[in-house]
Amino acid sequence: MDEATARFVRERAGFRCEYCLLPERHVRLPFEIEHVVARQHGGTDALGNLAFACLHCNKRKGPNLTGLDRVAARAKIVRLFHPRHHSWGYHFSLLGPRIVGRTAIGRVTVDVLAMNEPLLVLLREELIEEGLFPG
């Protein structure tokens, strides 16, 4: 992937993780360009398959495409949030520093990406107090 593509993806995302909305400038480790559909599943470098993600979300997502929604009596396989096809505000909401899945897609994505790990919630709490999140 060339530098111009990486720059475009970062700017398109507003320099925030497209999964957890964490702003890159308030985190020490640089974020990554993520393949929403991983190469091992046939994903390409096309702009429609690239997303900007913090290290935590990118690592947790890995090549996963789905998760198990355990709300129903029988757990259902549900696809993960796709930043290019889905709207963040439709699938997630913020409850203070916690990210809540509003739909099955939102729920499984919060779960698979472990978006509410204690350290992340703490970080969001601090950013909220400083008026830097969600921004």
In the block, residue with structure tokens 């957890």: 20
Span near Zn ion by CB under 5 A; candidates 10-18, 32-40, 81-89, 101-109 = 10-18
- Which residues lie below 8 Å from residue 101, measured CB to CB, with a gap of 6+? 91, 92, 107, 108, 109, 110, 111
Q: Is 54 in the site for Zn ion (CB under 5 A)?
A: yes
**Distance of closest approach, residue 55 Cβ to Zn ion, in angstroms:** 8
Contact with Zn ion (CB under 5 A) among 9, 13, 16, 20: 20
Q: Which DSSP symbol is given to 61?
A: H
Nearer to Zn ion, 36 or 54 (CB): 54
Contact with Zn ion (CB under 5 A) among 9, 13, 19, 92: 19
**Strand-strand pairing, 92-95 and 98-101:** antiparallel
